[in-house]
């Protein structure tokens, strides 16, 4: 399980100017927020968790081990900071979630019978279309 309070302390934020609606306001205020979390230097994650996250989120990590999530949905920097933090934490939780193995099951007899019945019906339909002399 993730300790979100500890991880939140390790997140660094960068701001930049956002694109989109806002008129003149968008040209002078830095509302886009990037949440940066370094996976390799984290002290709140165990080594096993780090290995799991590296395997699952490897394509999203930079060469230094940074996981970067950005948000520019809102016109407020504070709201974008909250959204970026939520996205990052949910990404980490999804990466650590264990996927249960599929238990192989046999095909039910009723499903087999229905498939064979449908095949017979289809074959008979094709035969009825044949040329009659």
What is the pLDDT, as a whole number, of residue 22?
67
- pTM for this entry: 0.71
State the greatest distance between any 2 C-alpha atoms of the chain, in Å, as a whole number. 86
Domain count, the chain: 1
Measured CA to CA, the distance from residue 35 to residue 88 in angstroms comes to 7
The pLDDT profile of the chain, 133 residues, written as one tens digit per residue, is: 678 888 899 999 999 888 766 677 777 888 899 999 999 999 999 999 999 999 999 899 999 989 999 998 888 899 999 999 999 999 999 999 988 999 999 999 999 999 999 999 999 999 888 777 6
Is residue 106 situated within a structural domain? no
Tell me if 124 is assigned to some domain: no
CATH, residue 28: 3.30.160.20
Q: Taking the CA of residue 46 as centre, how many other CA atoms within 13 Å lie in the half-sphere pointing to its CB?
A: 6
């Amino acid at each position: 399980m993730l300790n979100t309070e500890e991880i939140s302390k390790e997140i660094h934020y960068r701001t930049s100017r956002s694109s989109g609606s806002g008129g003149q306001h968008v040209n002078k205020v830095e509302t886009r927020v990037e949440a940066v979390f370094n996976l390799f230097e984290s002290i709140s994650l165990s080594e096993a968790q780090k290995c799991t996250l590296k395997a699952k989120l490897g394509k999203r990590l930079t060469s230094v081990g940074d996981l970067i999530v950005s948000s520019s949905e809102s016109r407020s920097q504070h709201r974008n900071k909250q959204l970026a933090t939520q996205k990052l934490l949910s990404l980490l939780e999804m990466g650590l979630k264990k996927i249960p193995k599929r238990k192989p099951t046999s095909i039910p007899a009723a499903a087999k019978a229905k498939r064979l019945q449908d095949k017979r019906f289809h074959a008979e339909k094709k035969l009825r279309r044949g040329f009659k002399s």
